[in-house]
Amino acid sequence: MMRISAAALLVLMLTALFTACTSTTNDDPLPTAITDIDAAATAIVLTENAPPPPYRERLQLESFEDGLDRLEGWRYIVSAEFTGTFTETSRNADGHTTAEVSYHQRTSARRVKLLAGGSLLTQDNQSVDTEAVRIGQDVYLRTASGCSIVTGTDSASVVNAGVGQLIGGVREAVPSGVKGVINGEAVYRYAFLQDALHLSSVQPRDGGRVSLMSQELWFSADKGALIRLYLTFDVDNVSVFGSQLPVTGQVILRYDLSDLGQDPNISIPFGC
């Protein structure tokens, strides 16, 4: 029987849950010699694909939800997954959580759908399915036991769950000279060092290790918002999702923002 409450799930998710050139001067000037063709090509790409100000030199996001409150409507899905073992054992450990978050500015409405499963987040490997909705000042919470109005209670904080708490933010990222279109938005790719990333859902134990293995950060300068963030970590002797016992394995984090400018049609959960 699943015993975890919605408030406990939130705590687990939020506390549990990167030219060298030479010249020659003589009577017959020669063209400037490019000594590093790759560097020259990279400089051209960076110039042609550079984001506009104020994002041309660097990007700083205290929270990955920065800028979303200025947009009329949107939806994003953020997920975190761990697979591995309990440290220094052969016992399997796993956990996965997904939050689908929608927002509509005009009606001050926000909806959060939380799914969670795995041995690190639930008992008896029972899945968790929770939905929180805020419309105006009222907050509704749907769990396996039913739906109720939770305005003004601790459980109301579930409606604020999202990427900002799970992954945190990035202190500094720099343009990598690549642009594209993702989820219907013109975006620029940025790169960052692991030390610049605030990872809320993974906490090293004594002697623990967290290694960033891959990263993708795509930002829309036009919308002033993060569109995609994909991260993969190898971890050893860490707490994941607030786990009491340390684990070793791999953590995968995914975030995608879409439906910008659209009304997500947020309504009171069924049964409330």
**Structural domain boundaries in the chain:** 6-17+53-258
Spatial separation of the C-alpha atoms in residues 195 and 181, rounded to whole Å:
28
Q: Which pTM was predicted?
A: 0.81
How far is the CA of 60 from the CAs of 50, 101, 212, in angstroms?
Answer: 16, 22, 19
pLDDT tens digit string along 43-63? 444 556 889 999 999 999 999
pLDDT tens digit string along 97-125? 999 999 999 999 999 999 999 988 877 77
At 47 the pLDDT is: 55
Q: Please classify residue 105 by burial: count the beta carbons closer than 10 Å to its beta carbon, then call 0-12 exposed, 13-18 middle and 19+ buried.
A: middle
Q: Which residues pair with 133 in a beta bridge?
A: 111, 140
At 7 the pLDDT is: 38
Q: Please classify residue 100 by burial: count the beta carbons closer than 10 Å to its beta carbon, then call 0-12 exposed, 13-18 middle and 19+ buried.
A: middle
Q: Is the pLDDT of residue 78 over 70?
A: yes
Q: How confident is the model at residue 153 (pLDDT cuts 50, 70, 90)?
A: very high
CATH of region 6-17+53-258: 2.50.20
Percent of the chain beyond pLDDT 90?
67
